[in-house]
Structure 1
Amino acid sequence: MVEATLGKATPLAAEELHKIHAYWRAANYLSVGQIYLLDNPLLREPLKLEHVKPRLLGHWGTTPGLNFIYVHLNRAIKAQDLNMIYIAGPGHGGPGLVANTYLEGTYSEFYPNIAQDVEGMKQLFKQFSFPGGIPSHVAPETPGSIHEGGELGYALVHGYGAVFDNPDLIVACVVGDGEAETGALATSWHSNKFLNPIHDGAVLPILHLNGYKIANPTVLARLSREELESLFVGYGYKPYFVEGSDPETMHQLMAETLDRVIAEIKSIQREARVHHNSHRPQWPMIVLRSPKGWTGPKEVDGKKTEDYWRSHQVPLANMARQPDHVRLLEEWMKSYKPEELFDENGTFVAELAELAPTGDRRMGANPHANGGLLLKDLRMPDFRDYAVEITKAGTTIAEATRVAGRFLRDVMRLNADTRNFRIMGPDETASNRIDAVLEATDRMWNAEILPEDEHISPDGRVMEVLSENMCQGWLEGYLLTGRHGFFSCYEAFIHIIDSMFNQHAKWLKTTRHIPWRRPIASLNYLLTSHVWRQDHNGFSHQDPGFIDHVLNKKAEIVRVYLPPDANTLLSVTDHCLRSRHYVNVIIAGKQPALQYLDMDAAIKHCTKGIGIWEWASNDRGSEPDVVMACAGDVPTLETLAAVDLLRENFPELKVRVVNVVDLMTLQPETEHSHGLSDKDFDSIFTTDKPIIFAFHGYPWLIHRLTYRRTNHKNLHVRGYKEEGTTTTPFDMVVLNDLDRFHLAIDVIERIPKIYYTAAYVKQMLYDKLIDHKHYINKYGEDMPEILNWKWRYYGSDGDQTPLQHSGTDTNPSQEGAEGTATRG
């Protein structure tokens, strides 16, 4: 344990102490003003009820501590020319960060209408938690922010993600003691085992113990000093304690402690970089214990407020019903002596303003907090070079993600020097068959390494930890500070980060409409080990519902791709890595599977996102009797096998096969930029013919996307209907009525001209389902005719030319970066 104690020579001289305290008072004053005031910003007339907002929304309790930290970081940045950003973990500390960026000048630069004068201050106060204004938390609108804090738990993991491959950056990460109770934050302390001091920056965790959450004490605040020290030493940190409530003493303690920990960080990095020693050090951290609601009202209506949970939100409320609270608010705000802080024009006095850093060294202006400013394109290999050779569709076997892994390996190699690309995954890089990347780099690991360990080192850029939350948080921090990444995960367990995806998608949507925010690289998911091939792991591993969650977000942000084979997966992956400011979800299987499209056909198919597979259809030149649609690799296989059964038994039946790669094409063009026009949709799906749609996920999602289409009444969707167990791969589709036999029966039941003559075929199909059950129960694997099925060619010569691609180009427009082969 290192306790901050003052020696004979205090770090702050009297004048500097006076100025720093005044700066802190100014930040606190502006914070209170944002929560309460609608007018009279400098209290130059007696405060009246009409000067106060009618609805008081905001959080005071954590704010003075955040302000205290900010002013001391400013001192350290300016004194040592540090490259530093600030992450505020306490969720609703928005008033403090807005106040500090206003004082340092960045806020007015980004928002000229919020000028540094009386009128600007009035607007600053009014906009906070006000219609048409800004949120109460540290939102995308706040300069210097990469962490919104709408959901607690991710401050520290975002901080570490930001400093990976950023050797000169220090992230000062304030962890609230309420936030510290979350599982994600508790795990995030282990991020120091994935940090290499040679080529990574540093995170300075500042655990802010103010004792209380909304209405309860916090766990860490009630631990003894010794217990708290043992906890963080066990995590691998060197904790420094700054504790108290007397401002003068606390300023001196904080200044001294910051000087010491910054010197330690620099010493660690110097030792590592000069001697090329990446051995994991004991990184410093600060435990700041200060009163909740510090400097606010000590009591309200006879009840303890400062240093208690009652200061968490708005200490003085019910102004209209309790007029005395208006007087108390005025006394509180005047205790900061605003007349000493702001001149006649309402401008922050120059001798205090000069305490802040200047230019990009201001934390509100640091370009790392606006990562699009620093973003550079990846160097990309030509994805066509990794193509699976196809001579006849539906006859070649390959593993789609293994093929994509070789492409990702070379993306990693080409960007080794710039170190701006990392792959994240919860211990599944090999399991998901993208382990070719380990030929280019190791897994990152800076804990103990044993001689028998394989592919782990402190220099690795594959990030594996068995926490989807940490993988997601690291990647978000990495992307938000201007780099690129890729997240591979089992489909069922990507749900663990549902709410994190939600927060990131909201960030992307909001920043798309903030002019000074620059677009960042897309967040790319590869979801594999998916629902249809989790037969061995059972029901707990079978869930395709992440797609439904993603499609709740705005069309300008989300993209979902279901490539049916390796070449389409290559095309989609290349596109997603080149894209900007989206969340791209790719769902592809890892098991050996039939391949359908050569690279030329794959590019065309992915560019359009949807198309008729002419080589599998027989309706050219006539109207189809039925449209067989599919989205996803296993649904595509079962659809083609069903078509094979129909073609064999009903050669006169006209069948059109439609494959969907880009799920968003199903929406109308008025709802999504990738959506087909009604005219093009009707051209593909017809206006009156049955549509049998085999879908990877829950069936109702397809209905949701197409309910406005002309032929929706004839659309019948098969998909996952929450039936699963430990069984065989084919039995998984049988359990959910997605198999070839059920699909063929669906066609028979919906086409009147064959319904009665097809009775024997229908009976044969049901018999096949019975045979299947008996066979798997006896042998434990699928029938040979299922395991060995391949596409059969029909035609007068028995050998139809296989790859006539996707039919008419119904939507030829292409979005996105030049060189990509998939729509934007």
Structure 2
Amino acid sequence: MTVATPAKQQPLNADELRKIHAYWCAANYLSVGQIYLLDNPLLQEPLRLEHIKPRLLGHWGTTPGLNFLYAHLNRIITSQDLNMIYIAGPGHGGPGMVANTYLEGTYSELYPAVTQDALGMKQLFNQFSFPGGIPSHAAPETPGSIHEGGELGYSLVHAYGAAFDNPDLIVACVIGDGEAETGPLATSWHSNKFLNPVYDGAVLPILHLNGYKIANPTVLARLPHEELESLFVGYGYKPYFVEGSDPETMHQLMASTLDSAIADIQSIQREARIHGFTKRSRFPMIILRSPKGWTGPKEVDGKKTEDYWRSHQVPFSEMASNPEHVKLLGTWMKSYKPEELFDQNGKLMPELGELAPRGERRMGANPHANGGLLLKDLRLPDFRHYAVEVADPGAEMAESTRILGQFLRDVMKQNLDSRNFRVMSPDENNSNRLNAILEVTDRTSTAEILPTDDHVAPDGRVMEVLSEHMCQGWLEGYLLTGRHGFFSCYEAFIHIVDSMFNQHAKWLESCIDIPWRRAIASLNYLLTSHVWRQDHNGFSHQDPGFIDVVTNKKAKVIRVYLPPDANTLLSVTDHCLRSRQYVNVIIAGKQPELQWLDMDAAIKHCTTGVGIWEWASNDKGSEPDVVMACAGDVPTLETLAAVDFLRCHLPELKIRVVNIVDLMTLQPNTEHPHGLSDRDFDSIFTTDKPVIFAFHGYPWLIHRLTYRRTNHQNLHVRGYKEEGTTTTPFDMVVVNDLDRFHLANDVIDRVSRLGNRGAYIKQIIRNKLTEHKQYITTYGEDMPEIQNWKWQYYNAPPVEKQGSSMIETDDGSTAPSEAGAEGTASSRS
């Protein structure tokens, strides 16, 4: 095995070498200045303590390597007119990203106060990691960035997401050797098995080995050369090595290596685009081994600093107490010869400014790094055409996500030519009943495909890999560069991407306040195979807590929907696919379930987000005795079954049924734009009646959302309380006290006027729960009356009687007498 060898060892003539080195020095100078200086930006007077920031924040160690690469990428962009963006994966290398976008002019165009002169340079330094200024990492405020500098582990998967369906784009992705130790990054190397050079752009991974993390050596930096090369050959790459510390040698080697790597990429793409895809190619990658804190102080206070962990953040501090450190800083900054880089007014020397690309070829100005500039609306079919016919509530059964799959199939079909819509799933597309999408496209793979493989092709648009991290990262990169997508996942395992969701939500929130950032398509999750239908897989698969994580974020960017049936799911999904700058979480079951609303009613219900289901209520024209609220498909089923049970046994009871499809309506409108006003909330939930709330997730979230409401003290929430096992579907709700019998019991306990009359009904409830346990342990499935239950009251006239006469049946339970059962069904569960 041999190392890939650059074609030309000395591509830079003397003048080119001098200029590219000076440009690198300018970026390094500006980076150090951002970390340390408040004033005296050009060092035109002796450096004093008052010129230095009192609190020193930032990361120097990785920055000179990032600057080195940026300068060389600028060179090849200019020489070959390349369309390229830059992803800086290593930690908080923000000083370098800011410095380079300032040198190329993008920064001053977007932030006119930061001018390209001494005054602007002072502002550049002042704002960095300073109150009221900018973050210390590559953040949304940084031009050219689609990747938050603190997101260790996700740079490479973001890069591939950006490259999919962007045939002219090259994504230069710098991966820090600390970041390379994370699980998501280790998996991301396999993204090359999903890249099709016919239709996709290219990713040029650059693994930056500078040896150390905060205080420890890195794993990959300590691998022998042959082992490191074998690792990346095994991943399917063609590795080039650029190693050393001598600037002249390193400049020539990097220039030569980039020439070779870009030539490789162009050769692969040309072959594929002329002759079609035949087999997966070995795309190039670069392994850059350079000193940590390169060009910085070699020693501080007699301790090794350059090429060591001590240069990771701020190489030295304690400026007020150690005057020698002030001198050391001045010497370090003057080593870059700022007088040769900038004129007396602080403007970059013209001959150096010419090294940067022009216009949108600048990596800081490339529109792919501001994806909203490129975003085009999806062509969407009319979701109403996929409606389930619902003649009466609860009369039909359907698999809601299977119906949704038909809609998504046609979304995919109508956007195939645009190549701007992909579906992600961790090997669960068919499991989640979205099979119909495969009628118009395949699963993506550029690895070996066998004749027996099912719907797998190099040009497929369903992206399945058993890594939630990769699905999330691909989708984020895809959205951030101006496209659309949809991510379905088992509910319990979406937690794997909690931190990725957090960072993306923070990114969106920050972008709202950045005028030049254009809105991108929303990140849409479908969480299915959810907690209440994971009875067969057991406790490990039962967790609805992602909603709690999501609702921690600002109302400006998050939305949570719990459609109770297929038609509401269609309406919600259509809305989410049209939306911008949100994270939309949709939770819906995939199993056959009763359907409640026809399409007209579903649209109206989803538009308001919450509403009284008049057809299930009997309190119209009077005060309800109780409000029974529900959010989620299974909680809705159990609530309606509880209402059915209560209206059978206590027909005089006035019950109001409220369904919530948009969870954020529960918050006050002062907290969330979808929230109900206090007046509207009180009109629906009353100010003094008991509210029995059946919720899909953990109960305390509902209390958190409603704690300011007038009637909160009467709110009783049932939901998942971490009781799970391998059992039957109905037993899952029973063990969590969310079943129809527990809900009915809650009503009896809280409607005070029932008094002792409820004792007999509670006895029925206890008997039913006992029967249930005996039945499932004997037969291994739920009782027929549970499995076959349907809503019985949809055509029933309102019951006028104010009493309930009960008779004893042969089995010892009670049922309404003929006199008290007018208009009711003949049997009840």
Tell me the TM-score normalised to structure 1 length. 0.96
Report SS of the residue matched to 2:279.
Answer: coil
Alignment of 1:483-498 (within 5 A): 483-498=483-498
Report SS of the residue matched to 2:327.
Answer: helix
Q: Distance in 2 between matches of 1:302 and 1:441?
A: 64
Q: How much has 1:149 moved relative to structure 2?
A: 2.5
Alignment of 1:366-765 (within 5 A): 366-765=366-765
Structure-2 change in CA distance of 1:576 and 1:417 (3 Å): same
Q: Deviations over 1:28-71 (max 9, x none)?
A: 00000000000000000000000000000000000000000000
Q: Distance in 1 between matches of 2:480 and 2:752?
A: 57
Partner of 2:42: 42
Q: Distance in 1 between matches of 2:8 and 2:202?
A: 31
Report SS of the residue matched to 1:215.
Answer: coil
Q: How much has 1:152 moved relative to structure 2?
A: 0.4
- Note if contact 2:108-2:114 (Cα within 8 Å) is conserved in structure 1: yes
Q: Distance in 1 between matches of 2:780 and 2:9?
A: 79
Partner of 1:145: 145
Partner of 2:22: 22
Partner of 2:273: 273
Q: Deviations over 1:361-384 (max 9, x none)?
A: 000000000000000000000000
- Note if contact 1:3-1:242 (Cα within 8 Å) is conserved in structure 2: no
| AA matched with 1:700 | W
Q: Distance in 1 between matches of 2:464 and 2:438?
A: 12
Q: Distance in 2 between matches of 1:759 and 1:250?
A: 86
Count of equivalent residues:
800
Q: Distance in 1 between matches of 2:352 and 2:452?
A: 59
Q: Deviations over 1:584-603 (max 9, x none)?
A: 00000000000000000000
Is 1:362 matched up with 2:362?
yes
Q: Distance in 1 between matches of 2:204 and 2:796?
A: 73
Alignment of 1:175-186 (within 5 A): 175-186=175-186
Q: Note the residue ranges of structure 2 that are not aligned, 5 or more in a row.
A: 801-829
Aligned Cα root-mean-square deviation (Å): 1.2
| AA matched with 2:758 | A
Partner of 1:173: 173
Q: How much has 1:2 moved relative to structure 2?
A: 5.6
Partner of 2:289: 289
Partner of 2:787: 787
Q: Distance in 2 between matches of 1:543 and 1:163?
A: 34
Q: How much has 1:425 moved relative to structure 2?
A: 0.6
Is 1:216 matched up with 2:216?
yes
Is 1:346 matched up with 2:346?
yes
- Note if contact 2:651-2:799 (Cα within 8 Å) is conserved in structure 1: no
Q: Distance in 1 between matches of 2:305 and 2:753?
A: 80
Partner of 2:766: 766
Is 1:102 matched up with 2:102?
yes
| AA matched with 2:400 | A
Structure-2 change in CA distance of 1:7 and 1:545 (3 Å): closer
Q: Distance in 2 between matches of 1:796 and 1:370?
A: 57
Report SS of the residue matched to 1:436.
Answer: helix
- Note if contact 1:184-1:470 (Cα within 8 Å) is conserved in structure 2: yes
Among the aligned pairs, what percent are the same residue? 80
- Note if contact 1:2-1:240 (Cα within 8 Å) is conserved in structure 2: no
Structure-2 change in CA distance of 1:4 and 1:643 (3 Å): closer
Q: Distance in 1 between matches of 2:103 and 2:381?
A: 47
Q: Deviations over 1:101-125 (max 9, x none)?
A: 0000000000000000000000000
- Note if contact 1:4-1:242 (Cα within 8 Å) is conserved in structure 2: no
Greater CA deviation, 274-283 or 310-319?
Answer: 274-283
- Note if contact 1:4-1:253 (Cα within 8 Å) is conserved in structure 2: no
Structure-2 change in CA distance of 1:204 and 1:394 (3 Å): same
Structure-2 change in CA distance of 1:605 and 1:92 (3 Å): same
Report SS of the residue matched to 1:489.
Answer: strand
Alignment of 1:72-91 (within 5 A): 72-91=72-91
Partner of 2:825: none
Q: Distance in 2 between matches of 1:326 and 1:796?
A: 87
| AA matched with 1:153 | G
- Note if contact 2:4-2:239 (Cα within 8 Å) is conserved in structure 1: no
Q: Distance in 1 between matches of 2:51 and 2:100?
A: 23
Q: How much has 1:8 moved relative to structure 2?
A: 8.2
Report SS of the residue matched to 2:757.
Answer: coil
| AA matched with 1:426 | P
Is 1:263 matched up with 2:266?
no
Q: Distance in 1 between matches of 2:208 and 2:401?
A: 44
Structure-2 change in CA distance of 1:454 and 1:580 (3 Å): same
Structure-2 change in CA distance of 1:436 and 1:475 (3 Å): same
Q: How much has 1:753 moved relative to structure 2?
A: 1.5
Q: How much has 1:151 moved relative to structure 2?
A: 2.6
Report SS of the residue matched to 1:21.
Answer: helix
Alignment of 1:790-805 (within 5 A): 790-793=790-793
Q: Deviations over 1:246-277 (max 9, x none)?
A: 00000000000000010010000000000012
- Note if contact 1:2-1:239 (Cα within 8 Å) is conserved in structure 2: no
Q: Deviations over 1:544-566 (max 9, x none)?
A: 00000000000000000000000
Partner of 1:805: none
Greater CA deviation, 553-562 or 9-18?
Answer: 9-18
Tell me the TM-score normalised to structure 2 length. 0.96
- Note if contact 1:6-1:252 (Cα within 8 Å) is conserved in structure 2: no
Runs (4+) off by over 4 Å: 1-9, 794-800
Partner of 1:803: none
Q: Note the residue ranges of structure 1 that are not aligned, 5 or more in a row.
A: 801-824
Q: Distance in 1 between matches of 2:662 and 2:194?
A: 36
Partner of 2:317: 317
- Note if contact 1:563-1:572 (Cα within 8 Å) is conserved in structure 2: yes
